[in-house]
A and B are shown apart, each in its own frame.
Chain A
């Protein structure tokens, strides 16, 4: 089974800390035990010297004078041995008698001191020089630390380790959970998004951290996916509608002409009409083909310098050709003197589609009143303001206008699919622009589009 990343992080966090704590405890244990052992040996050495002096030197003079005081000074379970060093010394026998190994005795004889540790006792041996010859004096005392304190220390350390690991476990899981919380929330949200609700977006915040970048990347990707999705939809519905109109005209004309025998001029007349319509059809197919080739063939869209005023003139011409009732006024009052300020980095076909959508919406919903399109530019942005005096958008529905297929409640009398505005917004987003729709029902709508100006260094 795959361990979840959060628990893996917790574990990774936990293990080094546990190792450190373990090493730390071992260090404490050994340093404490070492210290207490050294301390005891020092005591033993002092004792050995003292008892040797008292027992060996004083023995010759007065054997019992100091025995009382000696009792009080004795270390716990102290044992003293005095072994004279002479030719009769049998190290093996003595070692057996005391209960320690032989090298202890040779050490004591040769180096002057020796130490030995058993579980119960510490032995300290010194070579003592007295008037009556040299002695090996061995003092043994209970291994006080090992017996009384070691167990307690180990218990304390184990307990502390247990508590520390519990706390660490908690902290580790808390942190790992919190670190991965935003990622899980992104996962949850992305799971929600399917082809039916592509307009959903992840929540972005303003910070510039990696997670926000991830979110933004996701959102950008969704923008692109949604745009191509909707473009496809829009394309198909528009294309079929556009293609059908001339076809209907051709079929109708042919039907009428064929219904009875006619004069040659009539045939010429109607063939002319058929030709005209067929030419229209040809033009439209060409245009569609062009659109398909340039924009939406799945390849990267080409971004170029686009002059916005020129583009808008094209849009105006195009729309007025499509429907002679469209009235569009291009307001050049705030057009900047410097044409460089009007250039944006963009794809002509897409921007054309976007502005056509907005402006034709303006014409449609204002019953072919004049639509004013104003252009202006600041140093960093180009502003395009499209104002109509149409039916407007009800105030409580304005938040839904970017949902695909949403149509406001007052648009029943107008044809439409509810695709134009979301498509436009996506195109504008692709150009790093902003679109702002303000409307008062019954008075009109103002659409403000902001596009960043083309900058040479961005190429």
Chain B
């Protein structure tokens, strides 16, 4: 069965643990279209909007650790991942978010309880929409938020064991 799932991300390796948990706990027969979405508002300046490129913005937000971790997961769960896409959501209200979900045919949202990091000054927390939206939301216990030696490094995606909740 193919499903499209949406996972809010803040471009930290840690946020990929949600994805890993889903894939580990799903059946082998399931395949997923994965949307890693980050909430970021568009700039108001018309000049900036004229030269706006989504891929460039994503490029500036990601870091090599995150991309490598994505690749590691893709290599492991190649059969289950039909597609993995990083996207930006820049709507202002719930209706826009609902529209986005409908447009991308999102079947389920998975989010972790941890508050996501706002890495850019224009970033905003998607949870305000996720809480109220009509699509089924699954919360995943992000585990202990203690300081661990491998914080921020790619090793995080190997180590953290997260329970489905």
Contacts and interface: CB of A to CB of B under 8 A. Distances in A.
A341 interface: yes
A448 B154 contact: yes
Interface stretch (B35-43, B50-58, B65-73): B65-73
Contacts of A444: 149
A398 to B, nearest CB: 10
Given A374-B159, A376-B158, A385-B159, A334 B73 contact: yes
A378 B149 contact: no
Given A374-B158, A446-B149, A448-B154, 14 more contacts: A333-B158, A334-B20, A336-B72, A336-B76, A377-B72, A377-B75, A381-B68, A436-B153, A436-B155, A438-B151, A443-B149, A446-B148, A446-B159, A448-B155
Nearest to A336: B75
A383 B158 contact: yes
A425 interface: no
Contacts of A335: 76
Contacts of A380: 71
A376 B78 contact: no
B159 A378 contact: no
A379 interface: yes
A88 interface: no
B136 to A, nearest CB: 26
Interface of B: 20, 24, 68-69, 71-73, 75-76, 78-79, 147-151, 153-155, 157-159
Nearest to A441: B149
A274 B76 CA distance: 50
Contacts of A381: 68
B155 A438 contact: yes
Interface string A368-395: 0000101011111101010100001000
Determine which residue in A334, A337, A392, A444 has the highest number of CB atoms from chain B within 10 A of its CB, and name it. A334
Contacts of A68: none
Contacts of A424: none
Nearest to A341: B75
Contacts of A338: 75, 78
Interface in A383-426: 383, 385, 387, 392
A378 B71 contact: yes
Contact of A440 (B78, B147, B155, B158): B147
A440 B148 contact: yes
A337 B150 contact: no
13 contacts: A334-B157, A372-B159, A374-B158, A376-B72, A379-B71, A383-B154, A385-B158, A387-B155, A392-B149, A438-B155, A443-B149, A446-B159, A448-B153
B31 to A, nearest CB: 14
Given A374-B158, A385-B159, A334 B76 contact: yes
Q: Lowest 4 A-B CB distances belong to which pairs?
A: A378-B71, A336-B75, A374-B158, A438-B149
A438 B150 CA distance: 6
Interface of A: 331, 333-338, 341, 372, 374, 376-381, 383, 385, 387, 392, 436, 438-440, 443-446, 448
Contacts of B159: 372, 374, 385, 387, 446
Contacts of A333: 20, 24, 76, 158
A380 B20 CA distance: 20
Nearest to B151: A438
Contacts of B20: 333-334
B17 to A, nearest CB: 11
Nearest to B161: A333
A448 B150 contact: yes
A334 B155 contact: no
A378 B72 contact: yes
B158 A337 contact: no
Nearest to A377: B75
A446 B150 contact: yes
B75 A376 contact: yes
A260 to B, nearest CB: 57
B37 to A, nearest CB: 22
Contacts of A341: 75
Nearest to B75: A336
A337 B155 contact: no
Nearest to A437: B149
By CB atoms of chain B within 10 A, which of A333, A341, A374 has the most? A333
A221 B151 CA distance: 33
Nearest to B69: A378
A328 B79 CA distance: 29
B24 to A, nearest CB: 7
B158 A334 contact: yes
A446 to B, nearest CB: 4
Contacts of A383: 68, 72, 154-155, 158
A330 to B, nearest CB: 12
Given A385-B155, A439-B149, A446-B159, A337 B72 contact: no
Contacts of B150: 385, 387, 438, 446, 448
B76 A337 contact: yes
B102 to A, nearest CB: 33
Contact of B155 (A336, A378, A443, A446): A446
B149 A376 contact: no
A392 B158 CA distance: 19
B153 A337 contact: no
Contacts of B79: 337
